[in-house]
C-alpha cells in the first residue's frame, strides 16, 4: 500500500471501500468508488504540494481574529448558590438528592 521510496500512498478502490466501511459510508456503485479514488488522490496531491512550502520564517498562528479571552478568577458567590433542597424542589422525579431523568441511550 505504501511505497517507502517516495512515501506515496497508492489509492485503490479496495482502500476506498475499506475507508468507506470504517466511516459507515455506503458506496452504491463502482463509479462512486472510482470518483472517491480520484478525490483522495487530489487531496493527497495538495498535501504533498503544501509539504514543499518553506514556512521556516513564519511564526505559528494560534488565533487569527486578534481577539483575546477575557479571564476572571473563578470565585464562588455563596449568596447566589442554591442549596440542594432548593435545586431539587421543582424536580418532577428525584432520588436520594439527585435529579432523575429518562435514559436516552440508543443501540444504533
pLDDT at 94: 94
In order, the DSSP letters of 18-84 are HHHHHTTPPP-SHHHHHHHHHHHHHHHHHHHHHHTS--TTSPP-S-SS------------GGGPPPH
Q: Please state at what angle helix 13-22 crosses helix 30-51, rounded to 10 degrees.
A: 90
Please tell me the distance from the alpha carbon of residue 11 to that of residue 31, in angstroms, as a whole number.
15
pLDDT at 3: 41
Share of the chain above pLDDT 70, in %: 92
- What is the average per-residue pLDDT within 2-14? 67
Q: What is the pTM of this model?
A: 0.47
Q: Residues with Cβ < 8 Å from 40, sequence gap 6 or more? A: 11, 16, 19
pLDDT at 5: 42
Give the three-state DSSP class for 99.
strand
> 53 vs 2, which has greater pLDDT?
53
| pLDDT tens string 9-54 | 789 988 999 999 999 989 888 888 889 999 999 999 999 999 999 9
Confidence tier at 69 by pLDDT (50, 70, 90): confident
| Domains of the chain, residue spans | 2-51
69: left (phi over 0), alpha (psi -120 to 50) or beta: beta
Task: Say yes or no to pLDDT of 101 above 70.
Answer: yes
Amino acid at each position: 500500500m505504501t511505497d517507502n521510496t517516495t512515501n506515496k500512498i497508492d489509492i485503490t478502490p479496495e482502500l476506498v471501500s475499506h475507508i468507506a466501511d470504517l466511516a459507515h459510508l455506503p458506496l452504491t456503485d463502482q463509479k462512486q468508488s472510482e470518483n472517491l479514488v480520484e478525490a483522495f488522490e487530489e487531496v493527497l496531491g495538495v498535501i504533498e504540494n503544501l509539504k514543499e512550502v518553506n514556512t521556516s520564517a513564519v511564526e505559528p498562528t494560534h488565533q487569527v481574529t486578534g481577539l483575546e479571552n477575557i479571564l476572571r478568577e473563578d470565585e464562588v458567590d455563596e449568596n447566589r448558590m442554591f442549596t440542594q433542597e432548593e435545586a431539587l424542589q421543582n424536580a418532577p422525579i428525584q432520588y436520594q438528592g439527585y435529579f432523575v431523568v429518562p435514559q436516552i441511550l440508543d443501540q444504533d
